Every structure is written in structure tokens, then in C-alpha cells.
Amino acid sequence: MSNYVIIPGGYHGGWWFQPVVDALRAHGHEAVAVTLTGVGERHHLVSSTNLETHIQDVLNVLDYEDLDDVVLCAHSYGGMVATAVADRAAERIASLVFLDAQIPRDGESLWELTSESERQRFVASTRDGVLTEPPPGLDPRATAHPFACFLQPLRLTQGLDPIRRKVFVWMSGWPDSPLAGMYDRVSDDPGWHVEVWPNGHDIIGEACQATIELLLREGQEDDEALTQPST
């Protein structure tokens, strides 16, 4: 049995990953998709929410649910959060799965990592400087996202080096993808397993079954690693 914690991208709550959570649980695993503060059904808590708030959201799940050997999965903006969580709680993480997600280094923000067109969209879609509205075409349950989360630089101590297994999936079907730079960052790194899928960024709408299969494989990898005799 594996423990899965899934972090959605911007504008989405944990409900977006419910088909994946249901499938993982049907295979006997523990799985939770986190709704970050100020987003989704927690959008009423937006006041003072920033990237650090979201990092603490996930650290609290690990601590209060007492989860170890976790497959930590992140989509899009969720990679900013997952990177910091893995940096601070590496002892709890068995593997990382980044699904078309940001892979920041120390001192970087999503604002810095994304494309100029995305930065322009963020600015154009905010009326008050506090929230940025979701782009067209998302799930109707998507809500505005706290703008500060995209602006705040990430602070890391040890980075992702202590994590034994790291997976990055690039969705190459998104024209002018702002995640292309993340693919370039890890595609030749032997510390990462990299896959390229021909889908767009809507991973649940376009690649839900592939995501389930990937996560099940990761859980199996972790189970096998735990049962290997030490040398």
C-alpha cells in the first residue's frame, strides 16, 4: 500500500483530482488531493494567503495524517508547493511526480519561471491585485487564485537532491507551453525520469487514465524499494 498526496495547480481544488483519488483508493492505496487555502471550496480564506501558506497546508497534511513513504504528486503551480514540501520534509517523501509542473530553484518565483504571455494574463485578470481570475475554459468550479502565490520567491535549504525518485511529465500538446523551460531543466538530468505526453495542460480532461497508471507504477516502485534487502 502506498500513500499519495496530490497538489492541484492554480485555480483548482482537490476535487479536480477526485477521479485519480478514487482509482488509487480502489487499488487499496491511501490518497488525498489537497485543496489549498484561498482556492476552490476554501476561497473564502484568501486573506493574506501566499505561497508559504500553501506549503504549510501540505506540510500539515503530512504531519497530522502522520504520512510516510509518500508519493507526492503536483500539477502546474503545485510544483512550487511540492518542491518546498520535499525540501522541508524529505524524510516523509518516497518519490515526486511533477505533472507539467514548475520545478523551482532557490529564490525563484512562478512569476519568474512562467512566460511573458502568462504574466500579462495574470495582470490583466486581476481587478484588485489580490486575486487573479482563472483563464477561460477551465472547470466551472475553478476559482480566482491568490496573486501573491505567483509572486513570492521560494526559499530552499537542500532542494530535491535527497529524494530518491523524481518524475517529470511534460505535456507537449500545449502550444507555447510556459513549462517547456522545466522540461529543458530536467530532460538530461540523470536524477529525473522524464516522460513526454502529447496532451495539453488539462491533465484530468485529456490524460486522466495515463495519470492513474503512472501513479500506480510509482507506488509499485516505492513498495519494491521498501522490500529490497539493505546492502
Catalytic residue positions? 76
SS (H, E, C) the chain: CCEEEEECCCCCCHHHHHHHHHHHHHCCCEEEECCCCCCHHHHHHCCCCCHHHHHHHHHHHHHHCCCCCEEEEEECCHHHHHHHHHHHCHHHEEEEEEECCCCCCCCCCHHHHCCHHHHHHHHHCCCCCCEECCCCCCCCCCCCEECHHHHCCCCCCCCCCCCCEEEEEEECCCCCCCCHHHHHHHCCCCCCEEEEECCCCCHHHHHHHHHHHHHHHHHHHHHHHHHCCCC
